[in-house]
Amino acid sequence: MKYVFADDLNQLRTRVNAFLQQQLQPFDSTPAQLADAMRYGILLGGKRLRPFLVYAGGRMLQADLKTLDYAAAAIEAIHSYSLIHDDLPAMDNDTLRRGQKTCHIEYDEATAILAGDALQAFAFECLSRAPDIHAEQKVALVRILAQASGGQGMCLGQSLDLTAEQRAVSLAFLQNIHRNKTGALISAAVEMGFLCSPHYRDQTLRNRLIRYAQAIGLAFQVQDDILDITADSTTLGKNAGSDLALDKSTYPKLLGLDGAKQKAEQLIAQAKAELQHLNFDTEPLVRLADYIVQRNH
């Protein structure tokens, strides 16, 4: 049967959404709105690219899908918490996310902060309950996700991004921001699929997958920067032009729009080159790389 990326993405998005809904269903914070805000923040929508990477990479390496459910849910919980916090007035001050009101607008700032905190804790709870893998694999999963989301990864990237507002930065500095802010979780997603598989001790394989992930992670951010100035808010599902409004350094700003597009294509070519060395069915990962630079939101 011919592989269709859009169908695979939709099926895996449906799978992780159903799993998240099931795992969060018992949460009850009555009379506080915390549980509702958690569900709102994570089930609001989204492409689910990070869970897709967990599933696609792990499936390619014969990982159990039931194990991958927990890893995919964990990384989406971290990603969703980061978006809730990024949207706050003290950060990017956005009112629109995934085509809906941001969490702090739908609820309030304090509830949004706590919902993000709770989703972060929920992520590691999920990993602790992942079935059918060794304790060594669970510890590695926790370590990778913690490193990617903390002071050596996503949080560092967001902090650097805030310091770069309204000032000129070099291309190297911009790449350092986005390798952490966006790229760290994308790399973690690929590694987590790998760590759920029987091949989790193959360091050569792991290194190739990491290089693939680093390339698509940076390409994802380049495309985001392009879309911020070429797409409208309805298509994006968030406020278009927000980078310009905050006077952020972006790839189009530093390289020009054509230069940014060329940069994204170069990164995707690098990612695909890494996959050519693998003796597995890499088509889903190849198609995802193409999707990253072809998407319009």
The region of weakest confidence among 13-17, 123-127, 175-179 is 175-179
CA torsion angle for 228, 230, 234, 235 (degrees, to 10)?
-100
Q: Once rounded to an integer, what is the mean pLDDT over residues 268-293?
A: 96
**pLDDT score recorded for residue 243:** 59
Query: Is the pTM here over 0.85, yes or no?
Result: yes
Q: Give the ranges where the chain is alpha helix by DSSP (H).
A: 5-24, 34-43, 49-60, 65-86, 103-106, 109-128, 135-149, 154-163, 171-181, 183-195, 203-230, 233-236, 242-245, 251-255, 257-275, 283-294
Of 176 and 297, which is predicted with more confidence?
A: 176
Token readout for 288 is 């995802």
Element (H, E) at 101: strand 100-101
Say whether the peptide bond before residue 31 is cis (omega within 30 degrees of 0): yes
Count of domains observed in the chain: 1
Nearest to 189 by CA among 4, 6, 63, 42: 63
Give every CB contact of residue 247 below 8 A, 6+ residues apart in sequence: 165, 166
Which domain CATH number covers 208?
A: 1.10.600.10
The domain in which residue 224 lies consists of: 5-294
